Structures are given as C-alpha cells and as structure tokens.
Amino acid sequence: MKKFKIFFFLLSIYSAQSIYNGNVVFNYDGTEDGYFNSLTQDSISSGISFNQNIADTSTLFIASISEQENNEFDLFLAIIRDTTSPMLPRTWSIPGEGDEENPTSLETLLIFMPGLDSSFVIELFDAFTDTSSEGDSTDVFSVIFDSLSNDIYLGLSGELEIFEINDTLILGTFNTVMIKPAFYFPPHTITINDAEFEFYNPILEELTVRKKEIFDDKILSYRTYPNPFNSQIKIEVSITKQIEDLSLFIYDIKGRLLESIFIGPLEKGIKSFIWDSQKNPSGVYFSVLETTNQVITRKILLVK
C-alpha cells in the first residue's frame, strides 16, 4: 500500500459562511487507479471560508488533496448547489441540472485531478484564498477548465447524498463515473464507488478533542493500529488501576453502533482487543472507549 498524506482541505457553506474541517476517502479505478485519503494520523488540516451569498440558494464547496508517492498529489473538488437555504439532506444526481457547455453552472460538479505537481497545488489553493476575499471563487474553476482540460476528470454520472448537514457536522457519500473532457480514443474514464466524506466545525471539534484527550488518571494510553488497516485492527488500552465499568464500541460514519468489543471491568495493565472488519466495506469508522468519567474516540480507516 502507498503512503498517503493530506495537507489541506476545506468545505464552506456560502449561505451561512461556515467553515468545516474533515476528510474525503475513496478508491478509484479505470484509465488511472489509486486510493485517495485525506485522513492522516497527525490530523493536519487547514480551511478557508468563501464569502458568497446567492439569494435563497445554498452552495457547498469541497476541496481535498491526497499526497501520493514522488511528491505528487491527487486533487478532488466539488460544487453542490441547492435551491433551499440552509442546505438540507437529500440526494443529488451527477452532474444534475445546468449547461454542460458551462460546467461551473452544473448543479453537482465533481472534478478529479490525479498526479499533480506540488507547486501547482500550492498555486491553486493560493488562488482559492485570493478569490474568496474578492467574492468570486468560480473564477478558479473557469481557469481549470480553460487551461487544464487535459488533466481533469469530470463527473459524468452517478449520485451524491448528504444525509447529515448542520452547524457542526456534514456527512455524505457519492458514486460516480468520471471522464476527461479532452478528446481521447478510447475515452479516459475512472470510476469511484462508495466514496465517503465527513466534515466538522473546526472550533467545536477542537474543543471536543481537548476535552476528550484529558485522560482519566487510570488510563495511560489508548491506541489503534495499524491505521489505515485492511481487515483487522488492534485496539490497545493501558490502565494504571482497575476500572470497574469500561466499554469499547465500533461505530460507522453514520453514527450506527456496529459492534460491542468489550463491556465490563478491566484490570490494571495493557489489554489488547481485535476488531475483525471482514464483513464491512472500506470507509471511516470510530473506535469509542467509554468509562463513567469520559468518552475517548479514535477515528480509524478501513481500506480493502
């Protein structure tokens, strides 16, 4: 498996000018294939807000980068539009309504650019920053279509679903077939199945993390490895004194309880648990350790 690292991602709801940090995860195959992951162990992130308002409509921007080998990057961009404000959970067709001759007008615009040079990535996100202050971020997308048509894949068909969207959290999935608009024979296409994205309000998330990372003095450490993992992940808990009531659960990205790994008293020392995920698809999951005094969450990534 390749080593991947994300160093920038953003998501902004224009109508509310809210900023969220988060991650996008998917496998892609076709003319080009690989694994896109904007989730890292060290959780490096950054974000900006685009100050744009359009009457009673709402627009969602997603931009995410995954570092590949040889100092190359994959870039994923999306614009999702709705005729309601604020945006509500629903399913969008890809590319949806709009003028296909003018991609920036499409209701659900997905862009994927694999194998980019690092210097170009920096310039592109500098452009996002500049246009956000000027109030016309679609200019960046116009530049992409005008000068980079040989490098981009556009969403040709599929669906994108947002099943949770509020001031603190956005969760969704998408499946799509993408094609290069430049002429190739046979056409250059890639397929993305079971992609997932999750974004959190960075201020609220920071406060939550700080609270959770203040361990009970009985808990010395709580680790999950390897992460990402292929089939089984080891969950290790080290405690200095016996804990009478400890629970360990696995949740999916939608917050559904998948498995109760352990419930009961735990003696002093190091205890290891194994979660066998063979029946579950690739994606983001959460290992949640609970005691009477606190809840500690670890984000884990299953890749098959």
Question: Could you tell me where in the chain the CATH 2.60.40.1930 domains are found?
Answer: 215-302
283-290 β-sheet, strand order: 257-266, 243-252, 283-290, 295-302
* Residue 139, pLDDT score: 57
* Residue 217, pLDDT score: 56
* Residue 142, pLDDT score: 64
For 242, the token pair is: 């016996």
CA angle 123/152/34 to nearest 5° reads 95
Which residues partner with 259 through β-bridges?
A: 250
Q: How many residues does the chain have?
A: 304
- Per-residue model confidence as pLDDT tens for the chain (304 residues): 333 333 344 444 444 456 777 788 899 999 999 988 875 433 434 333 232 445 678 888 888 888 787 778 888 888 898 888 888 899 999 999 888 777 778 899 999 989 887 766 666 655 554 544 444 555 566 666 666 667 889 999 999 999 888 777 788 899 999 998 877 778 899 999 989 888 776 544 333 433 444 455 577 788 898 888 888 999 999 988 889 899 999 988 767 889 999 999 999 999 999 999 988 887 778 898 888 877 788 888 887 6
* Residue 276, pLDDT score: 94
Look at phi and psi of residue 67 and say left if phi exceeds 0, alpha if psi is from -120 to 50, else beta.
beta
The CATH superfamily of 215-302 is: Macroglobulin (MG2) domain (2.60.40.1930)
C-alpha span between 64 and 40 (Å, rounded): 13
* Residue 129, pLDDT score: 46
